[in-house]
Structure 1
Amino acid sequence: MRTVLAALAICFALAACDADEGSEASASPTRYVFLDAQGVDTVDTSGQTFRHALIVEMSRWIAGLTATIDSGAFAPGPGDVAAGLDFWFAFDDAIGASTPFDLGITDPVRQQSHADLASGKRLVDKLAGNDPEGQHADWSTAFQGWDDPVVQGPEDLVRHWFAELDALAAARAQGEVALDPQGQPIEVVYVSPTGLDYRELLQKFLLGAVAFSQGADDYLDDDLPGKGLLADNTTVAEAGATALAHGWDEGFGYFGASRDFGDYTDDELAGAGGRPERAGARFDFDEDGALDLTSEVVWGHALNAAKRDRGSVVATDFTGDAWAGFLAGRALIHGAGGTLSDEELATLRAHRDQAVGAWEQAIAATVVHYINEVLVDLAEPATPHAARAKHWSELKGFALSFQFNPRSPLNDEEFGRLHALIGQAPVLPGGDTAAYADRLREARQLVGTAYGFDAANLGDDAGRGGW
């Protein structure tokens, strides 16, 4: 991460020199902060932060279901859990605006309730296939990765998983606890007998089908006039920024980095040590006594990028590359002071490619990581059923994301092959685990080749020694 800061300092110095003399705006080389002539920050990522928060809250609600059902505090009937999940998925301000956030953050937070952060922001509206503009594919026909007659697109898949979890929860409330293949009760309600962990599937898929899709295929795309990188940069609009600047900020917000992301070490971002004040990948850098969810907390894929960097055998810098691309691109937009020249637009595309490329590489490295976890599980029959389900479901959820980037290194044919190899459920003890392990090793090599990963980071045949 730190290796990019010197280059960024040069970039910002050049941007400052090129800026309009009438604008006093400047930016720190280590923080994503861009001021207007009055010294007011022009960056607004409240909508993206709101959706990140909804994904976290949904995941936490699912995690707590087992205890609330088993204690008798919640006795869901058919449809009740699906409705509970829809509270987060199709968030209704009229019902939820005043409710406090449940993010697991114990430090003081500036935005106490949902209304304090934003309004009118729903996951379902920004899910791939539901946003009416900017999609590179018709997801009602082009969606791949889950072969089921009830699933024609991303929203169908989300609601299919809602229904499956709903059925498990309603049965458990009636004393019908699901059993694993060995006939043992499954510890948690959100894991199916076939080895699907609906908590992990939903969280990881939503990060791809909402956050990555919106970032790569909408705000940072350049396929439509007046959209993405081709948006207007002459008229100040939202939050004191031009449409181009604000759209770039929205892409940055979906990546999940804080404004001081470059000040973190990978250990701190991964929750593996570092400075105590930066524990949990959050830090009150403006020292006002409360965390600002939009600027002082790291979310989503930005966290996974650090985990893969610190787990690399041959060094990678997904965090640094993404940060450098996002920061340099925004500096270019800010310094242009109007319509971009052809040369500036070409440079902005290069910054986009760096940022989105590193973002997707981090997702791909995480797919490799979970292939390796599943390979280890296959060789160890004593692995608990819930652990098998967790590892496989993280693999599947992350791997569904690649299709949402129109410039993905993984083409449609390779994507289809990848999911044919992964399948729709793990092979459990008693099945042909050796054949499945061979399929996963082929899937791992497919990903490694597409993304140019060093062989040492892929791991050995047993799933050890790499990510």
Structure 2
Amino acid sequence: MKKTILSLCVAFSVNAIAAQDYAFDVTLKGYQGDASSSVSYGGQIARHVLHNSLKKAAGKGDADLMSAYFSSKESGLSILDPVSKDGFPVKQTKIDELSKGKDLLSSAYDGVITGWPGNPTGQELLEQLVELAGKTKEGYDPVNGYNYVQLISKFSMGAVFYNRAVNHYLDEKLEVGQYPNNKPYKKGTVYTGKEHVWDEAFGYFGAPANGLSLTAKEVVQLTKLDSAVFSKADANGDGVIDLKSEMAFAHAYYAASIDSSAGTNYFHTIMQAFVDGRQLIADAKGKELTKAQHAELKAYAKTIATAWQQVIAEAAYKYAGSVYADLEKIAVIEEAHGEVAKAYSSYVKHWGELKGFALALEAAGRDLGNAQAGLDRLIGFSPILFGNTQVLAVDGKGGFIQGDSIAMQEYKLNMIKTQNLLDKSFGLKAKLNDRTAGMSAVLDQINKAGNSAEND
């Protein structure tokens, strides 16, 4: 009985001191400075803010402004988003306050992207999207069906943040012998190799350091700069939100958004694995990880990579459902001979979000097999345009070539197939905007219209 009570007390003690925030002391052997924290991921947060600011610039269709936040690495850039508002003051106003000399382009995925005409690399595709956005009004191209604001944002989150985290920091850089834990990351740093590699992956996820103490809904409110959550978001109580540790970005936001709508647990699953993995490294006290510790750390990394991929696939699933709904709305408006411009713009926007997330799945540097080919074919190089045409290729000068395609309403069936493929390939749990129950109705509609319904 006494042994049982003692065991329970020990277990309670361990749980009580387990890390809840992403905050860890210095463990580097021989360090004699006055730093108290070994956590550092300012460069990753700088890139998140560059992404947010680039999205704002893309919405203006300003080529020079986009270039500044995409590839320039110039000093003195003002933060365009997030910025202070009444009831929600933000600490930093310049990118350099987060980290100097950072850009998005040089960190982007350099492998081939098959889902875009011409098979560009991830870096080439981002360059192309930014260039094309600069030639449009507010980043919108109705002729080819492209919303560059959404394409740039959703793809860059995958090509930079997701790729760098899961394909580098949580993969090759985590291997035995790489960035050892018994040495500084580089000369003069206060953190070990493994500490910093793990921190950089966490930084790319984009969660606030106190994410485990926030609900999914509160994380969503945080990204929307909602003053109702300010006091809880201001973890250190200094009266301002520090973008380095108290803001949510990119896929952390999407994970929380999915969870708050569907009751899933993607955000906290990823966050907990990051905290537990970092605690494991800290518990090594500046010594090299044992074989068992390294195996456990790799297991945490696998949990993160799997759930992170599911978050991106869930987002694509949701927007496939939105495209389906847009097509239904367009059909109703056309039948009533109404004005379709607003509905078409919404359709193009949602398609850009769907395509951007689908392309992001390719940017992990991991073979998706049949899923990748299926998504490429079902979604296509553009949405179906009026006249039942679609972008099919690019010419020698980079211009888009359109050709005959399936009917707009037949494209709804592709969206259902896209949702089925995403669910089957990635084991989704939320499945927001599920349209798969409507397949029979869509097939009946297509048959009545005399369409073939032949598609991958």
Q: How does 1:87-98 map to 2 (within 5 A)?
A: 87-93=68-74, 97-98=75-76
Q: CA RMSD in A?
A: 3.0
Which residue of the partner structure matches residue 103 of structure 1?
A: 81
Q: 1:389 aligns with which of 314, 338, 348?
A: 348
Change (3 A) 1:237 1:189: closer
Q: How does 1:212-223 map to 2 (within 5 A)?
A: 212-222=162-172
Aligned runs of 1:128-207 on 2, under 5 Å?
A: 128-129=109-110, 139=111, 142-148=112-118, 151-169=119-137, 188-207=138-157
For 2:362 and 2:101, the matched residues in 1 are separated by 27
Once the two structures are superposed, residues 190-241 of structure 1 have per-residue CA deviations (whole angstroms, 9 ceiling, x without a partner) of 34322210000001111000000000111110378667xx421001346521
2:373 to 416, 425, 433: 416
Deviation at 1:306, TM superposition (A): 1.1
| Contact 2:231-2:237 within 8 A present in 1 as well | no
CA contact (8 A) 2:50 2:95 kept: no
Deviations 1:389-433 (A, max 9, x none): 1100000001111123356xx723321221111111112455312
Say whether the 8 Å CA contact 1:322–1:355 is kept in structure 2.
yes
- Which of 409, 421, 426 is the equivalent residue of 1:446? 421
Letter in 1 for 2:99: A
For 1:306 and 1:82, the matched residues in 2 are separated by: 32
The answer to whether the 8 A contact 2:58-2:130 is kept is: no
Partner residue of 1:69? Answer: none
Shift of residue 292, structure 1, vs aligned partner: 1.3
User: Letter of the aligned partner of 1:335 in structure 2?
Assistant: D
**Contact persistence 2:113–2:363 (CA under 8 A):** no
State the AA in 1 paired with 2:292.
E
1:114 maps to what in 2?
A: 95
**Are 2:48 and 1:52 equivalent residues in the alignment?**
yes
* Change in 2 beyond 3 A, CA 1:114/1:360: same
Number of residue-to-residue matches in the alignment = 390
1:308-457 to 2 correspondences below 5 Å: 308-312=258-262, 315-337=263-285, 338-381=287-330, 382=333, 384-406=343-365, 411-431=368-388, 432-454=407-429
Contact 1:372 1:463 in 2 (8 A): no
Once residues 48 and 388 of structure 1 are traced to their aligned partners in structure 2, the CA distance between those partners, rounded to angstroms, is 32
Deviations 1:291-313 (A, max 9, x none): 2111011111000001111222x
Does residue 33 in structure 1 map to residue 19 in structure 2?
no
CA distance in 1, matches of 2:376, 2:240: 43
For residues 11 and 306 of structure 2, what CA distance do their matches in structure 1 show? 20
Q: Could you list the per-position Cα deviations for residues 47-97 of structure 1 after superposition, in whole angstroms to 9, with x for gaps in the alignment?
A: 0000000010011122244xxxxxxxxxxxxxxx4333211111333xxx2
Whether the aligned pair in 2 keeps the contact of 1:12 and 1:28 (CA below 8 Å) is no
Amino acid at match of 2:289: L
1:112 deviation in Å? 2.6
Q: Structure 1 stretch 315-324 or stretch 455-464: which is displaced more?
A: 455-464
CA distance in 2, matches of 1:273, 1:339: 37
Aligned pairs for 1:151-300 (under 5 A) are 151-169=119-137, 188-222=138-172, 230-237=178-185, 239-271=189-221, 277=227, 279=229, 283-300=233-250
What percentage of residue pairs aligned between the two structures are identical?
Answer: 27
Q: Distance in 1 between matches of 2:254 and 2:12?
A: 27
What is the deviation of 1:463? 7.5
Shift of 1:29: 2.7
| Deviation at residue 457 of structure 1 after TM alignment | 5.2
TM-score, L = length of structure 2:
0.78
Aligned residue for 1:136? none
Name the counterpart of 1:178.
Answer: none
User: Measured at CA, do residues 278 and 351 of structure 1 come closer, stay the same or move farther in structure 2, by a change above 3 Å?
Assistant: farther
Cα distance, 1:58–1:274 mapped onto 2, change above 3 Å: closer
Deviations 1:332-376 (A, max 9, x none): 111122111111111111111111211111111101000000010
Cα gap change, 1:276/1:168 in structure 2, threshold over 3 Å: closer, same or farther? closer
Identify the residue that residue 82 of structure 1 maps to in structure 2. 63
Structure 2 counterpart of 1:21: none
Query: For residues 463 and 282 of structure 1, what CA distance do their matches in structure 2 show?
Result: 42
| Residue 98 (structure 1) shift | 2.2
Secondary structure of 2:321's counterpart equals helix
Change (3 A) 1:463 1:402: farther
5+ residue gaps, structure 2: 1-9, 28-33, 334-341, 389-406, 440-456
Task: Indicate how the Cα distance of structure 1 residues 291 and 371 shifts in structure 2: closer, same or farther if over 3 A, else same.
Answer: same
What corresponds to 2:39 in structure 1?
43
Residue-by-residue CA offset, 1:268-307 (whole Å, 9 max, x unaligned): 2223999965648982210112221110111110000011
From the superposition, tell whether residues 272 and 296 of structure 1 become closer, same or farther in structure 2 (CA, over 3 Å).
Answer: closer
Q: SS at 1:311's partner residue?
A: helix
Query: Which of 256, 265, 284 is equivalent to 1:306?
Result: 256
TM-score by length of 1: 0.76
Contact 1:268 1:274 in 2 (8 A): no
Is the Cα contact below 8 Å between 1:265 and 1:274 reproduced in 2?
Answer: no
